[in-house]
Structure 1
Amino acid sequence: MSAAGDWNASLPAERYCDAVVIGAGPAGSMAARELARRGMRVLLVERKTLPRSKVCGACLNQRAVSWLELAGLSHVLPQLGAVPTKRFRACCGRRSVEIELPGGAAVSRESFDFALAQAAVDCGAQLLTGTTAMLRDVGSDAGGREIELRGPAGNTRTIQAGVVLAADGLGHPSLAQCREFACRVPRGAKLGVGTRTVDAPQSFQPGTIYMAIGRGGYAGLVRLEDGSLSLAAAVVPQAIKRAASPAAAVAAILAEAGMPECGLAEAGPWQGTLPLTQSTPRPVGHRVLVLGDAAGYVEPFTGEGIAWALSGGLAVAEFAERGLCEWNAHVEQGWLHAYRRLVRDRQLCCRGFAAVLRHPSIARMAVQLASAWPAVCRPIVRTLNRPVRPLELCQS
């Protein structure tokens, strides 16, 4: 059978779904699983073929782990062989500080995202990979939303959904035709780059999240379940231009911070992202709920990003189910309130860190202060890692 024939055969038998979830990252897969558990007909659409790599720090903090436990997915990380993370070590201007971390884990996004997508399928969601999805711009009086699906061979199918969940990452390309979802990108936003290497020195120990801070940006490094070293960096665009390549720009950051060379010359392929810091002023529209990085992104540091994604994926199901029955202003306001409380308000701390890191001289002073008085970091660590309580979802 041709590629087009394979794709056509994998499409839903009907041209209507209760919910179409666009993007099979942590937010999208968690949402698809929750909706399927509620008995809804769910189509989960992913642009790439799973498993796939992604620019990411590859860490979950304790709060992210607790969201998995609340969802009944506590078995996922142990089954994947995730590496427990116990320490965070930041280096800036050849000064360093080491901070203890509670209950986090490091795991490759290939394995983690695939496991969550499979969990959604196990609950009844249908997964369609290698497919781009585009929401059509229609009048607000429509009883559903139309989505154009495009397969790997360029063939298309239009389907209708009672509710659409856009979780397709930075810039939410699935919403490009809908101007009300336009992203805001601040001036000076860094670009994300990432790779993995198997030739890093043994000084990069499992269980420690390393961060190198320099004038060109900062880089996070951590050992994964297969022993490789994951590297994800937020780099000033001009630094990449000056260095002529992402590898050279990141190598300069590591050298400036006093970290050892970590085998970047032999690293795997480099991947990049759109500007990292983005926001969607209103992540909701008629029969559309926006979540995950598609709703807004702030640079995380020790696994907060996946915690935000999982919390949104769990919380959004209630509003999607309500909206399927009757879409109204209460549904939209409810999601805005829940998203602000569970995600946007919790991003404030990381916004502050990112602001500090834009000024290496201030970052050096912060590292020196934290090294001299480690106790100043403990309240921040507790806040970022506080395990979720079941009642937090009920407040949505």
Structure 2
Amino acid sequence: MPLPPGLALSRQRFDSALVAEAIQAGSHFLPGVAGHRTSQGLFLSGLSQTLHPGLLIAAVGLGGWGVGLKSEVLAGSLIGAGTLVDQAPDFYGPGTIYMSCGPGGYAGLVRLEDGRLDVAAALAPAFVRQMNHPGQAVAQLLQAAGWPVIGDLQRLPWKGTPALTRRARVVAGRRFFVVGDAAGYVEPFTGEGLAWALASAAALAPLALDALHQGWTPAHGRRWSERRARLLGQRQRLCRLLTLGLRWPRLSQTVVSLLRWLPFLARPFVPRSGR
């Protein structure tokens, strides 16, 4: 199935480029510094002295650690797990996204710019417990697809996430905005998380500048909630629809078989995925 032009890039390379662009635009990059929101107001820690910012934008990922954000985890949420493989079978060639789905979740594999294989999965917690390890769970998904198993995945270092499908109880408050995964997340099947975060940041920028220069008002919070809903509402509904279909293996197999013979049926949806 033809996909829009894209590029597989490691998160390390992307983050380095993002930081470099931010510094070039005039930002100060302060590793080790954290923003906090308390009943006494906003402050930054990790500096030689405590600073109180005029505005805080919380782009802290799932869970909202450090800024006291609370989110609601939705029923049936999967958890994320990922690792990098230095040497993998040639079957997993560059320029292709490999997706294996099953009742216990799904795994995606892609070659990075340095030749390593990026393995990322969204897994049901019960499936991980049954397999005793996320690496074993992913190996089971690859075996079910008839694909080569990648060495001993259990011996590789894995990184995990808390429950994925969640929504923040508030996306704005007095002198703070919530953006990116911290504001809400569905699932990574269509690869939309980073695209949504960047689009949200671009939409928030003029509103944040207005709040900073003109002074915060409750209207800024309402405007951000409404603007974010208009920007991401339809995209999130599409992603939720796709991921719900993955919970029913027979349904997803039927859809894949149908698209194999009639790929034009996917044209209205493919350009929207990953955006």
Asked if TM exceeds 0.5, the reply is yes
Partner Cα distance (1:130, 1:363) in 2: 44
Partner Cα distance (1:267, 1:371) in 2: 36
Which of the numbers 274, 287, 290 marks the counterpart of 2:178?
A: 290
Residue pair 1:291, 1:309 contacting (<8 A) in 2 also: yes
Structure 2, unpaired ranges of 5+: none
Q: Which residue of 1 aligns with 2:241?
A: 352
Determine if the alignment matches structure 1 residue 116 to structure 2 residue 18.
yes
* Distance apart, 1:264 and its partner CA: 4.3
Q: Which residue of 1 aligns with 2:60?
A: 168
Q: Which residue of 2 aligns with 1:318?
A: 206
Partner Cα distance (1:263, 1:257) in 2: 16
Q: Which deviations, in whole Å up to 9, do the C-alpha atoms of 1:57-111 show, x marking residues without a partner?
A: xxxxxxxxxxxxxxxxxxxxxxxxxxxxxxxxxxxxxxxxxx2101111100011
Indicate the RMSD between aligned Cα atoms, in angstroms. 1.9
Matched residue of 2:242: which SS? Answer: helix
Residue pair 1:254, 1:260 contacting (<8 A) in 2 also: yes
Determine if the alignment matches structure 1 residue 128 to structure 2 residue 30.
yes
Distance 1:248 1:266, change over 3 A: closer
Matched residue of 2:6: which SS? Answer: strand
Distance 1:148 1:382, change over 3 A: closer
Structure with more strand by fraction: 1
Q: Which residue of 1 aligns with 2:123?
A: 235
Which of the numbers 39, 42, 54 marks the counterpart of 1:146?
A: 42
Matched residue of 2:119: which SS? Answer: strand
Q: Which deviations, in whole Å up to 9, do the C-alpha atoms of 1:183-208 show, x marking residues without a partner?
A: 01012211100001122111112111
Aligned length: 274
Residue pair 1:211, 1:218 contacting (<8 A) in 2 also: yes
Partner Cα distance (1:106, 1:137) in 2: 42
Partner Cα distance (2:156, 2:64) in 1: 27
* Distance apart, 1:133 and its partner CA: 3.4
Partner Cα distance (1:131, 1:327) in 2: 24
Partner Cα distance (2:36, 2:234) in 1: 29
Partner Cα distance (1:136, 1:281) in 2: 16
* Distance apart, 1:337 and its partner CA: 2.0
Partner Cα distance (2:72, 2:178) in 1: 15
Residue pair 1:221, 1:231 contacting (<8 A) in 2 also: yes
Residue pair 2:259, 2:266 contacting (<8 A) in 1 also: yes
Q: Which residue of 1 aligns with 2:70?
A: 182
Residue pair 1:186, 1:278 contacting (<8 A) in 2 also: yes
Q: Which residue of 2 aligns with 1:194?
A: 82
TM-score by structure 1 length? 0.66
Structure 1, unpaired ranges of 5+: 1-98, 139-144, 387-396
Determine if the alignment matches structure 1 residue 367 to structure 2 residue 267.
no
TM-score by structure 2 length? 0.93
Q: Which deviations, in whole Å up to 9, do the C-alpha atoms of 1:304-348 show, x marking residues without a partner?
A: 222101111111111111111221133222211221122233221
Residue pair 2:64, 2:70 contacting (<8 A) in 1 also: no
Residue pair 1:136, 1:148 contacting (<8 A) in 2 also: no
Distance 1:343 1:263, change over 3 A: farther
Residue pair 1:220, 1:232 contacting (<8 A) in 2 also: yes
Partner Cα distance (2:83, 2:193) in 1: 18
Residue pair 2:139, 2:153 contacting (<8 A) in 1 also: no
Distance 1:164 1:133, change over 3 A: closer
Structure possessing the higher relative contact order (Cα contacts under 8 Å, 6 or more residues apart): 1
Residue pair 2:42, 2:56 contacting (<8 A) in 1 also: no
